[in-house]
Amino acid sequence: MAVVLFNPLSNNGRGRDEVENIPGVDMAKVRYEDITKITNYHEFFETVGDDSVILSGGDGTLHNFANNIPEECLNKEIYYYPTGSGNDFANDIEYKKGSEPVYLTDYLKNLPTVTLKGVKKKFLNDVGFGIDGYCCEKGDEARAKSSRPVNYTTIALKGLLYDYKPGKVHVEADGKVYDFDHVWMAPTMFGRFYGGGMMVTPMQNRNNPNHTMTVAIVHSKGRFALLKTFPRIFKGTHASCSNVITFIENVRHVTVEFEEPTSVQLDGETYLNVKTIEAKAATE
């Protein structure tokens, strides 16, 4: 028996339909559970027993699951079947659409944490300051007004062209201090992807033995230079553009402080009016 834990809100409300036929799974031996109705994960896993769990949803579903699953349940047989609209985690582990669910349990261990506005959370992909936070904020606003899918690339281009104002950023990474002007975004990455397919840090490896992160500082006085570089982020070929992006690699402890409070996205979850974040790699 397998328990399919699905999010009906994922993939713009099509989450339940997406799990009608999961490759490699005997659907006659499946029990469905709506993840949005689970209030106590200890009790949920007691009902699971020795059955396997197939988690279905997008990056937001993964983020919430990782932050709610009890540590003692990380010995359970948990799989992941991506059904989100962006699926950055799935892209990072090179999951091919239509494949059988991938073993998830090990990926939920040794995750980095971030503290922002007094709240400490784990993250699977990234925590992003700047225009990525702006995109999530505007996406949330659009979603509140309409049920139509949100186009984050369009929002990002609008911000780059005229709407978003870059600022100063102060970074302290493993004891070293960095200051940048005209910063457009400053994500701290545990995976390579965010924003539904942008390979921001092509050198980052979530499976590295030290569980370290990469900080990417995108800075440019002019919008034109940034607009030329932006399309390259989707293929990860922007890493050589040192005039607009600086990477701080193999980071275990980083504090990023913006000049003015701004929006932050944490695995796609939006936090408003944040000035400082502190991220730490896991310690075994």
| Fold match, 2-108 / 113-280 | no
The answer to whether 254 touches 213, Cβ cutoff 8 Å, is: yes
Residue type, 144: A
Of 104 and 9, which is predicted with more confidence? Answer: 104
3-state secondary structure of 35: helix
The answer to whether 276 touches 249, Cβ cutoff 8 Å, is: no
State pLDDT tens for residues 131-168: 888 888 888 888 888 877 777 778 888 888 888 999 99
Confidence band, pLDDT 50/70/90 cuts, at residue 130 = confident
| Least confident stretch, 1-15, 32-46, 57-71 | 1-15
Strands, E, within 174-239: which ranges? 176-185, 188-189, 193-194, 198-199, 213-219
pLDDT at position 109 is 95
The answer to whether 149 touches 207, Cβ cutoff 8 Å, is: no
State pLDDT tens for residues 179-222: 999 999 999 999 999 888 889 999 999 999 999 999 999 999 88
Residue 31 confidence (pLDDT) above 90 = yes
pLDDT at position 222 is 84
Number of DSSP helices (H) and strands (E) in the chain, helices first = 7, 17
∠ CA 144-90-3, nearest 5°, is 85
Q: What is the rounded average pLDDT for all residues in the chain?
A: 91
Mean pLDDT computed over 91-114? 96
Q: Where are the domains positioned within the chain?
A: 2-108, 113-280
Confidence band, pLDDT 50/70/90 cuts, at residue 32 = very high
Cα–Cα dist 152/193, whole Å: 14
Q: Which two three-digit tokens encode residue 54?
A: 């197939």
pLDDT at position 16 is 86
First-to-last CA distance in the chain? 32
Determine the topology of domain 2-108 in CATH. Rossmann fold (3.40.50)
pLDDT at position 284 is 62
Class of 113-280 in CATH: mainly beta
The model's pTM: 0.92
Confidence band, pLDDT 50/70/90 cuts, at residue 254 = very high
